[in-house]
A and B are shown apart, each in its own frame.
Chain A
Amino acid sequence: MTRSVLLAFSALVLLFVYAPLALVVLNSFNTSRTFEWPPPGFTTKWWSAAVDSEGARNAIVVSLEVALVATVIALVLGTMAALALQRFRFFGRDTVSLLIILPIALPGVVTGIALANAFLTMFGIELGMLTLVVSHATFCIVTVFNNAIARLRRLGGNLEEASMDLGAGTFRTFWSVTLPMMRSALLAGALLSFALSFDEIIVTTFTAGQGIQTLPIWIYQNLFRPNQAPVVNVVAAALIVLSIVPIWLSQKLAGTDESVAAAR
């Protein structure tokens, strides 16, 4: 009895989440420009239109670039911050930890305005690719940092001591022991960071400047133009399909990851 209720409830929730997404995919083949329901017919012309759309293509490239660079910056800085905070006890350690995590909790509007003001007035930098990437990195660091520090806490310092005891110096220990033990955590952090940056719209609006159009901004600007709506829908459908891949990948990685279980 409880079982069937649970099943029905789960099905309802899943339907609620995934039906609209399915609709997006379905509508990308809808012949009607205004997404008539039920669809009067099916076509692939929107897909070819989307492939030919220069605006969409450029926006995707820009978004990929921004997400990639921001993620790399986040990986380096986030890992280093986690190592430092895990390893050393110093005055203000907890405060620093809080300050690193804070950007993800702050409203994007606040972060966006603050960063744009700082760039323009304090540093005198034109808004552009640089400011955009740096802004994204501020919240991308959080996901990497959180994943990295959680892993480090679980590992403890024992394996590193064992490595040094066997003759390995600090760097050798980092490459041979610390980094491999953190790999899956860093990958998970990086995937999340990439996803965060890829669909970010608020901070981007304030810090990207005029010339740069990321995919979310392009979608937002074209969504209400009747001519572009079907193409936007195709891009959305493509993104749904594409997002499944990294998620599936990270799930698979988490499943085969021995390092966490072994560290216990």
Chain B
Amino acid sequence: MSTTAVELVGLSKSFGDVTAVDGVDLEIRDGEFFSMLGPSGSGKTTVLRMIAGFEQPTSGRVHLAGQDVTGRPPFARDVNTVFQDYALFPHMDVLANVEYGLRVKKVPRAERRERATAALEAVQLGDLAARRPTQLSGGQRQRVALARALVNRPKVLLLDEPLGALDLKLRRSMQLELKQIQRDVGITFVFVTHDQEEALTMSDRIAVFRDGRIEQVAAPADLYESPASPFVAGFVGTSNLLEGEAAHTVLGRRGVFSIRPEKIHLGDEVGDDDATAPGVVQDVVYLGSVNHYLVELDAGPTLTVLRQNLRGTTHEAMALRGQRVTVGWAPEHVIELDQERQGQQHQELEES
């Protein structure tokens, strides 16, 4: 039976006139890899900083493992943070950095050394213990920051876009490694990111933030397959919105709908049971393993269609540009989005 590691109750934070976080309620379970996903300025980092204790909420409470820690300073909370820029102490070597938390807590020297060394080995940096942070690469610094936090065995580990500064390849491998480490140590991870792919890859559950509020909390597959709002549909993946008159023409229904690009069939792939619509291929975007086809429907909206490059040549794919095509999809892949907020939200989406 899982218990609650972090509970946020009506959490709000204003900086002067600006409301960064606006009434967030959230329960993060013990041992889960939880991501807070959202565009910059959506309040996710501020929420993380309030959990860590760096910011005091304007109103609302923060509970850790059932205890109200709202007024407590960072050093009186059983959480540790991996900072976006790592914040390693440049005047200490790697081992001293990792030992810092234990030294502050007066852990005996021998045990301290042992645990710090073990933590460094867990992130494969055992032989760099005597180096200074300045002598490390970005990926290595990232691992030191992780070891420095994990060595304290916190109940919750907070990670503030820790992979943001790494290049794509390293980021991918660190994503898997982070997930692996999280499984091994069994600590609750709260991970802040603006990268939807990163969140989908690693998380057990994801909270999507927007304008200081949570739009939806769900497991990655649920978030992708049944987004609660056009914003979530657009932020997690490509949304392909159909609405208003166009929705009525194409789908025969009124409302706001989304069809994922990979669910749309093109030309000869259209099945017998598919709902179909005619259109013109406006552009073909070559992406290596897949192509994106931008199809402007006769009914108005443009849909992105994703097709794997299984057959045919790139040349053939490109030749589709400007051609009339029929697109189709299985009716069950049409996602109906939250009706009541549609008008206002779609407008904002278009503006942004």
Contacts and interface: CB of A to CB of B under 8 A. Distances in A.
Interface of A: 158-159, 161-169, 172, 176-177, 180-181, 258-259, 261-263
Contact of A261 (B80, B81, B105, B134): B134
Interface in B43-91: 52-54, 73-75, 79-81, 83, 85, 87-91
A205 to B, nearest CB: 43
A100 to B, nearest CB: 26
Given A159-B87, A162-B83, 10 more contacts: A158-B83, A161-B74, A165-B81, A166-B101, A168-B75, A168-B100, A172-B104, A176-B104, A258-B134, A262-B134
Interface residues of B, number: 26
Interface in B120-154: 132-134, 148-149, 152
A166 B90 contact: no
Contact of B152 (A167, A172, A180): A167
B49 to A, nearest CB: 9
Contacts of B88: 162
A172 B152 CA distance: 17
Contact of B100 (A158, A166, A262): A166
Nearest to A157: B54
A183 to B, nearest CB: 8
Instruction: Tell me the interface secondary structure of chain A in the complex.
Output: helix
Given A165-B74, A167-B105, A172-B104, A263 B81 contact: no
B87 A169 contact: no
A180 B85 contact: no
A166 B134 contact: no
A4 to B, nearest CB: 39
B192 to A, nearest CB: 15
A176 B91 CA distance: 10
A208 B239 CA distance: 79
Interface in B87-129: 87-91, 100-101, 104-105
A164 B75 contact: yes
Given A172-B104, A258-B134, A261-B134, A165 B75 contact: yes
A89 B73 CA distance: 19
6 contacts: A158-B87, A164-B53, A166-B75, A166-B152, A167-B101, A263-B90
Contacts of B91: 180-181, 258-259, 262
- The 6 A-B residue pairs whose C-beta atoms are closest, nearest first, are A262-B90, A166-B101, A162-B87, A164-B74, A158-B87, A167-B104
Contacts of B89: 159, 162-163, 177
Given A166-B104, A167-B105, A158 B134 contact: no
B24 to A, nearest CB: 21
Contact of A262 (B54, B104, B133): B133
B104 A161 contact: no
